[in-house]
A and B are shown apart, each in its own frame.
Chain A
Amino acid sequence: MSDKTLTRMELADAVHREVGLSRNDSAALVESILAHISDALVRGETVKISSFGTFMVRDKAARVGRNPKTGEEVPIHPRRVLTFRSSQQMRERVAQGNRS
């Protein structure tokens, strides 16, 4: 298992190699994809990318939590959280590729 971390740069590189656009244009397109997904989520939409996965926004009510270290009670504010459910294809490829 490699500990290398990929960033936007490697995604832009992949677009540059596969599609032949300039590195700048490729980077702008990667950014644009992330921006459209983010905007849709902020509008409260579910974003479903077939063969990749589904991003979904959920509302969570306020509740009382506890600092696990001190045991002290702390209020947890109501919040919108983003959950990601990976597609069957993604789960299979990740399981397959990391099999020991």
Chain B
Amino acid sequence: MIRSELIHKIADENPHLTHRDVERIVSVVFDRIIEAMAHGQRVELRGFGAFSVKRRDGRIGRNPRTGEAVEVEEKHVPFFKTGKALRERLNGGTDPGPDPD
């Protein structure tokens, strides 16, 4: 499923909204999640999952082509953890426990 198909499904269920409205609604929701993470905040959607920000320490990396050492600065990256209810649904109704990885 891609973004436009999601918009289509929601528009079908909400005949009182224009397609344009639904596009905006979908954009606002995803954008709000990114905005929160850009402020270092966590977004917890119970049953679905949680978006959070993880810090990656700076390190000395290597240019794979030249082998030259380069300093990689500390940075923050997005992270998603699947919620319990969705994990259960993906596994036919039983929770196999959190993924050990």
Count class of interface residues, chain B: 35 or more
Q: Are A38 and B86 within 8 A (Cβ)? A: yes
Q: Is the interface of A mostly helix, strand, loop or mixed?
A: mixed
How many A-B residue pairs lie within 8 Å, measured between CB atoms? 163
A5 in contact with B24 (CB, 8 Å): no
Closest A residue to B16 by CB, please name it: A25
Query: A70 interface residue, CB < 8 Å from B?
Result: no
B34 in complex: contacting residue of A57, A82, A84, A93, CB < 8 Å: A93
Q: A residues within 8 A CB of B21?
A: 19
The answer to whether B48 touches A96 (Cβ under 8 A) is: no
Q: Known contacts being A14-B29, A15-B28, A48-B1, is A93 close to B43, with CB within 8 Å? A: no
* Selected A-B contacts with CB under 8 Å, 28 pairs: A2-B40, A2-B41, A5-B44, A6-B42, A6-B44, A10-B36, A14-B28, A19-B21, A19-B24, A29-B25, A32-B13, A33-B10, A38-B48, A38-B89, A41-B90, A47-B2, A50-B3, A52-B33, A65-B100, A79-B91, A79-B99, A82-B82, A84-B80, A90-B37, A94-B53, A94-B76, A97-B40, A98-B76
